[in-house]
Structure 1
């Protein structure tokens, strides 16, 4: 299977992605803790799974576990997962005020967004 290198910065050790995975949809999200003191931008190809990993603290010694990031306050769907990771890097480079403006444009109260599974439709 052909592999494609992804430009990496400090924490992006997702160096190689299978071309097969680039055909999947991706999601970019912003999560926060219950007190809304910190914003965390992330990207994934399975947003429900990823939110459950945050909520149930699956991975020890991670940033999201330490700060209890499991409240979803913003997300975007991308046609390809690679685009979601590019968008994640963009959001991470923004200052908090700009992220808050983006969140408030679609979620004015900053409430936890409940995802409706496509399998339940």
Structure 2
């Protein structure tokens, strides 16, 4: 059985640093970032606790391919992607946490 995947972008309160990740369980992964489950990680170090963007894919392989693509983009292009999806760069954590399993 194939498992779907998501790519997501986390940022800090100042919106100065971005992190692009991939996961098969977005709710759990965002929780790990917010709670700093891995205190030595990049997201913990830079206090990246706000999810401002995500995309859902039917397979994890598709999500991984998209993550690799986005990581090659410059900051301006990433900012435009986020702004087109989430104009005010609001924290999407609450919306994601309300998803049904």
TM-score by length of structure 2 reads 0.92
The aligned counterpart of 1:91 is 70
Which is higher, the Rg of structure 1 or of structure 2?
A: 1
- 2-side partners of 1:68 and 1:98: how far apart? 22
Aligned mate of 2:81, from 79, 95, 102: 102
Q: Does structure 1 residue 54 correspond to structure 2 residue 33?
A: yes
Flag as ranges the 4+ runs of structure 1 deviating above 4 A: none
Alignment size in residue pairs: 98
Aligned mate of 2:4, from 25, 29, 37: 25
- Relative contact order higher in (CA < 8 Å, ≥ 6 apart): 2
The aligned counterpart of 2:49 is 70
- 1-side partners of 2:48 and 2:69: how far apart? 19
The aligned counterpart of 1:118 is 100
- 1-side partners of 2:83 and 2:34: how far apart? 23
How far residue 54 of structure 1 moved from its aligned partner, in angstroms, is: 0.3
How far residue 60 of structure 1 moved from its aligned partner, in angstroms, is: 2.6
Q: Does structure 1 residue 37 correspond to structure 2 residue 16?
A: yes
Gaps of 5+ in 1: 1-19
How far residue 61 of structure 1 moved from its aligned partner, in angstroms, is: 1.4
- 2-side partners of 1:33 and 1:60: how far apart? 15
Matched position secondary structure for 2:40: coil
